[in-house]
Structure 1
């Protein structure tokens, strides 16, 4: 279910537990809007630096109120001018479907090299046409949209998809399998739009390139 003007609630509990399992020090929330993720996460990781990317100045007081430490008053494409910024987790909650697919793909590949993890929540098919282009829905992000990435996890609950991508930034902290095992074993439920609650069951997609080193062992050129 969703409140008007806010992201869907489907994966809120899952997101909290994923963040707790990762233990990030820096989070970037792209399209922070009313500050939903800041409110959800500030008590989960109280020592974490929360940064909101939001170009609507009307949202700034609320974002500060819910606990964001920094606000980037820019659009997502301006992140390319800040290519030295690194984050433990980047969140795109009900955001990426507002972009052209090509723009979203370029942004994800850019962020993949500047984060440990990316969290994406997006609807399967939810027509929303608006006079202002980026206020409408403009792209669809099914699992086949992530075939370019080699190590990620996914679950669908009703109309909503949840993706957890393992970034390339560094090797620190828990690996994807450890995070997925932690949340799958926590007895959590996602909230279906019908009111039904479905058990959390993230499935890992692993197509990592493995180079054999001696016939018995292999080398991975990416974080686990």
Structure 2
């Protein structure tokens, strides 16, 4: 993924469902000069993981209510869409393919039952995606199929 980000040369990266801020910690060096913004629905993560220190801007809001930037951006949805109802996830991805320059999605591609984690009800898995289902949704773009996770990189 670092190679993809490096090649994309984004000026803005929006990390949705930032959680611990892992993508910013691991990938910022691949995007010198880019701004990194986090969208996180669970406010307790902001303090617990020091998100304000890992991102240039932190938005504590549900991604379905987030106002997307009016400038070119790359969006990272790492283990996010399985936490949305299927219809909401499909609408979000369709919207992002109209707005973003690049969309990275990773999801579990095996059935994993999961409810709230650590008091966070947003960690519940609401839809279990198959690799084929997400591949169709992402228009057969570049993808990786692991044993548990799938990853897609869509470019406008």
Q: TM-score range by the shorter chain?
A: 0.7 to 0.9
Distance 2:71 2:140 in 1: 19
Q: 2:136 aligns with which of 141, 147, 159?
A: 147
- What is the aligned length? 150
Where in structure 2 are there 5+ consecutive unaligned residues?
Answer: none
Question: Where does structure 1 differ by over 6 angstroms across 4 or more consecutive aligned residues?
Answer: none
Q: 1:77 aligns with which of 52, 60, 64?
A: 64
State whether structure 2 residue 2 is matched by structure 1 residue 16.
Answer: yes
Q: 2:35 aligns with which of 49, 54, 59?
A: 49
Q: By percentage of residues, which structure has more helix? A: 2
Q: How far does residue 138 in structure 1 lie from its aligned partner after superposition?
A: 1.6
- Contact kept in structure 1, 2:41 and 2:63, CA below 8 Å: no
TM-score, normalization by structure 1: 0.61
Where in structure 1 are there 5+ consecutive unaligned residues?
Answer: 1-14, 168-224
Q: How far does residue 52 in structure 1 lie from its aligned partner after superposition?
A: 0.1
Q: How far does residue 55 in structure 1 lie from its aligned partner after superposition?
A: 2.6
Does the C-alpha gap of structure 1 residues 24 and 125 become closer, same or farther in structure 2, counting only changes over 3 Å?
A: same
Q: How far does residue 83 in structure 1 lie from its aligned partner after superposition?
A: 4.9
Q: How far does residue 103 in structure 1 lie from its aligned partner after superposition?
A: 0.7
- Contact kept in structure 2, 1:95 and 1:122, CA below 8 Å: yes
TM-score, normalization by structure 2: 0.85
Distance 1:39 1:101 in 2: 29
Bigger Rg over Cα: 1
Structure 1 vs Structure 2 CA RMSD: 2.0
